[in-house]
């Protein structure tokens, strides 16, 4: 089975721009969770989508948004980029919803904001 895929792998943007990241889960998985990883804060939960619905959300500003499509693929959007948004963005897929099911991570998208 193919693993979780994320595109693009690397991205360089400037302050004020917006960015869209994509995640394709493992076949058959319906839940996609997004995380931000920085050296100072570690892995921080952004949100979870299950069956096209956002079912959980972390403590991030409204500039961070996402959606999920009927084929379970998910996108994450960050608008009005700030320098502090530079991070590794990871998505993880699981078969079921919630945090009790095992999550498998994609390779991540490294975002650099200049």
Residues near another protein, by CB under 8 A: 33, 35, 42-43, 45, 48, 56, 58, 88, 90, 98-108
For residues 42 and 70, which CB has a smaller minimum distance to another protein in the complex?
42
Q: Compute the C-alpha angle 14/18/22, nearest 5°.
A: 115
Separation of alpha carbons 93 and 112, rounded Å: 24
- Tell whether omega for the bond before 8 is within 30 degrees of 0, i.e. cis: yes
CB of 63 to another protein, least distance (A): 20
Nearer to another protein, 68 or 94 (CB): 94
Strand, helix or coil for residue 111? strand
- The phi and psi torsions of 49 (rounded to 5 degrees) equal -120, 140
Nearest approach, Cβ of residue 61 and another protein (Å): 17
CA distance 34 to 20: 13
Which of 99/114 has CB closer to another protein?
99
Cβ neighbours around 2 below 10 Å, total: 8
* Residue 86 C-beta: closest distance to another protein, Å: 15
**Least distance to another protein from the beta carbon of 91, Å?**
9
In the complex with another protein, the residue whose CB is nearer, 15 or 55, is 55
């Amino acid at each position: 089975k193919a693993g979780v895929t994320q595109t693009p792998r690397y991205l360089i943007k400037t302050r004020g721009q917006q960015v869209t990241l994509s995640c394709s889960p493992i076949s058959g998985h319906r839940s996609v969770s997004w995380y931000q990883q920085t050296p100072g804060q570690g892995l921080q939960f952004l949100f979870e989508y299950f069956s096209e619905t956002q079912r959980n959300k972390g403590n991030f500003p409204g500039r961070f948004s996402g959606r999920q499509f009927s084929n379970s693929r998910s996108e994450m959007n960050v608008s009005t980029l700030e320098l502090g948004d530079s991070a590794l963005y990871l998505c993880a897929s699981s078969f079921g919803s919630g945090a009790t099911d095992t999550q498998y991570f994609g390779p991540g998208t490294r975002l650099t904001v200049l």
